[in-house]
Amino acid sequence: MLSQFNQFLLNFSLLITSLLFAFLPMRNISRISPNSSIRIRLAVGLIASIIGALLVLNSISYDGAKIDLRLVALVTAYYYGGWISGGLTTIAIIGARFLVTPPGVYQGLILATLICLALLVTASIYRRFAAQTFKDYLILLGIGIGYSLPALYLLTDTFMRFLEMAFVYIIFNLLGGYVTFRFLRELRKHFQFVQTQQELALTDSLTNLANRRKLDETLADYDKHGYAFSVLIVDIDFFKSVNDEYGHDGGDVVLRQLSHLLATFAPEQALVARYGGEEFVVVLPDIAHREAERIGERIRTACADQHFVFKPYPPFHVTLSMGVASSDQGKTAFEVVQLADQALYQAKQTGRNKVVGYAYS
């Protein structure tokens, strides 16, 4: 029995290692379930198929039986991807079982095929009455084990050898299922934590807009790919007087309310970032210079008409000055921002509360 334990440990190690590397490409998907898109479920099925086939190809030969953790791969595929993922994994497992079957000895192959198909049908029926919980995962795994034990009995030479192998088989499949389920859950939590930290590193904490780092990364990417774009640099007029009259808390309220206004009036594909202090940058991909000026004018007008609220003070107004430049005016994206900044300076010097485009040279 010790040798069987050692061989199962190798199969178990193969399962966990394969899961770690195979699911890395799916780390940014927030939730995977039988209701996910077909593309995601096909990807889950492909991953589980590879893992299931590897487990079968490295299975333990015991009399006429091939013992491994393929049930864990199949149940996991169905649990996360439904019948599409489960069906792909079933085909892969049957194919791998055919490859390890000696010519003329097809009893084990036939039984393995029947077990996989029976489990797939049972899982499809069971899903109508179950949720996606750990209990349901274990029930499906237990059903698969129940289907496998009669086949294991038929393929072993004696009842004692069947009991010996059944004990190892049940223990390792339950252990493999438990560890797989917990491993994938913890892996998902880890990926979500890393993604959250990455998003926080690129987000301004006060306004929830993109921060300077995100802006620089975007501009560098535009330079790399040669994208056409325009830029608005937005500055709040006389923001110091807002802080003086309403305090820094009032100033923060203005920044947050203005951030919401910018995000609302900017096109969906635009990047709205806090540039620093009371300045903001709106990057407008595939927007020509004149259209960018019109977008800036709509934002300026909406801000001038908006009532900014900071209790217990009465509602008040703020105005904006803006500079506009486009990618055909500068050699690099960062130079375009500098040109927009020059246009902003001109807007401030000529009366504020206006949108000024950088003059074409």
DSSP labels, 55-96: HHHTPEEETTEEE-SHHHHHHHHHHHHHHHHHHHHHHHHHHH
Judge whether 278 counts as a catalytic residue: yes
Q: What is the mean pLDDT of residues 110-125?
A: 89
207 within some domain? no
> Residue 361: pLDDT above 60?
no
Based on the fold, state whether residues 163 and 253 are members of the same structural domain.
no
Based on the fold, state whether residues 80 and 138 are members of the same structural domain.
yes
Which of 24-33, 77-86, 117-126, 298-307 reaches the highest mean pLDDT?
Answer: 298-307
Based on the fold, state whether residues 81 and 144 are members of the same structural domain.
yes
> Residue 1: pLDDT above 60?
no
186, 199, 278, 293: the catalytic one is: 278
> Residue 246: pLDDT above 70?
yes
Domain containing 26 — which CATH number? 1.10.1760
Q: What is the mean pLDDT of residues 227-248?
A: 93
pLDDT of residue 26: 66
Find the range with the poorest average confidence among 27-36, 72-81, 163-172. Answer: 27-36
Domain count, the chain: 2
Based on the fold, state whether residues 195 and 224 are members of the same structural domain.
no
> Residue 346: pLDDT above 90?
yes
Domain containing 335 — which CATH number? 3.30.70.270
State which of 201, 220, 238 marks the end of a domain: 201
Based on the fold, state whether residues 161 and 265 are members of the same structural domain.
no
Its domain, for residue 28, covers 2-201
Based on the fold, state whether residues 241 and 105 are members of the same structural domain.
no
197 within some domain? yes
Based on the fold, state whether residues 226 and 170 are members of the same structural domain.
no
Based on the fold, state whether residues 281 and 161 are members of the same structural domain.
no
Based on the fold, state whether residues 230 and 150 are members of the same structural domain.
no
Q: What is the mean pLDDT of residues 331-346?
A: 93
Find the range with the poorest average confidence among 6-20, 164-178, 261-275, 283-297. Answer: 6-20
Is there a contact between 271 and 287 (Cβ–Cβ < 8 Å)? no
∠ CA 274-266-326, rounded to 5°: 80
